[in-house]
Chain A
Amino acid sequence: MHVFANPTRFLTIARPLTPWLFWGGLLLTAAGMLTGLFRSPEDYLQGDLVRIMYVHVPTAWLGMGGWTGILIASVMQLVWRHPLAGIAARAIAAPGALFTALCLVTGSIWGRPAWGTWWIWDGRLTSMLVLLFLYLGFMALAAASDERASIGRIAAVFGVVGAVNLPIIHYSVTWWNSLHQPQSITLSGSAIDSAMLWPLGLSTLGFTLLFGGIVLLRMRAIIADIRIEARLRRMAQG
């Protein structure tokens, strides 16, 4: 990992990788949406309503995956003082919050016809809403830090502590009875038919690449910002 301690070396890889992730992700997401809407079957019980899954499930996974990234970056900053860790954590926070919000909104739209309610305070929905608030809190803490390149010790500790919510989200449907269904895809197999599983895989891959592309774009923007500030400071002194 220390190979990337030098931002210039990181940029030589990040720059060519960004368009591949971003445009590739956008293309695969579009393909996933189109197959999900037109090329996959209706559900035996929900009918067309099942198609919300192709947005809801990937955004839910990425909302949780984003905080896993923040956890790793926070630990790398706290322990190894890795110069890119804080930049990565900052870059992840906004798309992570966006994807979590998308998951909540699509879930709510699905819940109204399927369950009969927009919202219910069950374990899964509540813990996912807590994740959104954690993201917002993390963004505020990171923005409050004086350092541009790091996120500050308090934000990093918050990133680690907030990760406690991740296993709670995952196991909320197992530990407590809830309105939200238990997970369909487990290590032992899938309760989603293969005709619906492959469009889901396609849109998940697309959203994941897109997420990665957005994070790289934001990391490059933060690095560019830091460099501009440093140059302006030098010019002001010289």
Chain B
Amino acid sequence: MKAKHQRLTLAIIAVVAVFGAGILAVYGLRDNAALFRTPADIAAEPVPVGQAFRLGGMVAEGSIEEQADGITIRFMVQDAEAQVPVLYAGITPDLFAENSGVVAEGSLDTDGVFVAETILAKHDENYMPPELADVDMGRDISQ
């Protein structure tokens, strides 16, 4: 075997081993590297009251309601399986809207309501001009 071929074989084995190790490491990380828990995750594995975590999902349609104090809003975060009510007092990001993604940082209170300290809007992968959005999405963009 020529030295060049020996080095090539070694390099291929090393690359396969390194990428294998990378995949194993990522596989081991998969739950811990998730940014947020979805309502379904919480239904399956309840989070203790008062423990800080991130809740992510879609803002349910028609669920955003302003509370009596004028600064607090209440809305439902949902996924395909479950819903969690959220209370938040503060300014929401521009892209925060019903039917769009949201990530909230906070904790659950004793009533099972998620009290958020921070609200982050999650943008999806769709980019289009406003005149197409009406046709394609049937979404009200006037608000």
A residues with a Cβ closer than 8 A to B are: 41-46, 49-50, 53, 75, 78-80, 113-117, 120-123, 157, 160-161, 164, 167-168, 175-179, 181-184, 191-193, 195-196
**B49 contacts chain A at the CB level, 8 A cutoff:** no
Q: Which of B14, B125, B139, B141 has the most CB of A within 10 A?
A: B125
B128 touches A177 (CB 8 A): no
A115 touches B30 (CB 8 A): no
Please report the total number of B residues contacting A with Cβ < 8 Å: 45
Q: Give the residues in chain A near B97, CB-CB below 8 Å.
A: 45
Q: Give the residues in chain B near A43, CB-CB below 8 Å.
A: 127-130
Nearest Cβ distance between residue B38 and chain A, in whole angstroms? 7
- Complex-state Cα separation, A116 to B117, whole angstroms: 12
Q: Give the residues in chain B near A44, CB-CB below 8 Å.
A: 128-130, 132-133, 137, 139, 141
CB < 8 Å neighbour of A175 from B15, B26, B141:
B26
- Complex-state Cα separation, A182 to B131, whole angstroms: 24
Nearest Cβ distance between residue B113 and chain A, in whole angstroms? 21
Within 8 A of A (CB), among B85-106: 92-97, 100, 103
Contact with A along B102-136 (1 / 0, CB 8 A): 01000000000000001111111111111111000
A160 touches B125 (CB 8 A): no
Nearest Cβ distance between residue B27 and chain A, in whole angstroms? 9
B127 touches A193 (CB 8 A): yes
CB < 8 Å neighbour of A50 from B94, B122, B124, B127:
B127
A41 touches B120 (CB 8 A): no
Ordered by A's residue number, 24 sampled pairs between the chains whose C-beta atoms are within 8 Å are A45-B123, A46-B94, A75-B11, A79-B8, A114-B121, A114-B123, A115-B120, A115-B122, A116-B92, A116-B93, A123-B33, A164-B21, A176-B35, A177-B56, A179-B35, A181-B122, A181-B125, A183-B125, A191-B127, A192-B128, A193-B127, A193-B132, A195-B128, A196-B127
CB < 8 Å neighbour of B35 from A53, A80, A122, A196:
A122
Nearest Cβ distance between residue B89 and chain A, in whole angstroms? 15
B18 touches A161 (CB 8 A): yes
- Complex-state Cα separation, A123 to B30, whole angstroms: 10
Nearest Cβ distance between residue B127 and chain A, in whole angstroms? 4
